A = this chain, B = another copy of it.
């Protein structure tokens, strides 16, 4: 569905928000360990998210990543688009360049509603929203020797 980079970004952001809610600012090692991703790669991804303005960071002791509480909730779609671009929401399931409403490819009618519901899901769900839910699967990682 998504690239690894996008997956790790989403998982990392949800974890950061979860920690922020309890007044903490997690660092990379903690984040990578909890969401079960390669630390250096995760660091690189979070750095990009900082540069793009999705999250903030502080260096030094007690440093770490956090969301600016002033900002609005962050829809998953924003992250996905920032990392992967729009193709996933506009592209044709068949990979045809000239497929659209006027020149639908054989899969068009069948795939369009699916693509739209993905679009809708990602535009509606936010990092903050996901962070509010209990998520056993997220924290499970640490117990499975993955």
Q: Footprint of B on A, CB under 8 Å?
A: 1-2, 4, 7-8, 10-11, 14, 36, 88, 91-99, 103-108, 110-111, 113-114, 117-118, 121, 125, 130-131, 133, 135-138, 140-141, 144, 146
Residues in chain B near residue A133, CB distance under 8 A? 106
A121 to chain B: closest residue by CB: B110
Q: Are A106 and B130 in contact (CB under 8 A)?
A: yes
Residues in chain B near residue A125, CB distance under 8 A? 107, 110
Q: How far is the CA of A2 from the CA of B7 in the complex (A)?
A: 17
A110 to chain B: closest residue by CB: B121
Residues in chain B near residue A131, CB distance under 8 A? 106
Q: With A106-B138, A137-B103 as known contacts, state yes or no: A95 contacts B4, CB within 8 Å.
A: yes
Q: Are B136 and A96 in contact (CB under 8 A)?
A: no
A124 to chain B: closest residue by CB: B110
Q: Are B107 and A1 in contact (CB under 8 A)?
A: no
Q: How far is the CA of A125 from the CA of B130 in the complex (A)?
A: 34
Q: Are B138 and A96 in contact (CB under 8 A)?
A: yes
- Tell me the minimal C-beta distance from A137 to chain B in angstroms: 4
Q: How far is the CA of A8 from the CA of B96 in the complex (A)?
A: 10
Q: How far is the CA of A95 from the CA of B146 in the complex (A)?
A: 13
Q: How far is the CA of A108 from the CA of B4 in the complex (A)?
A: 17
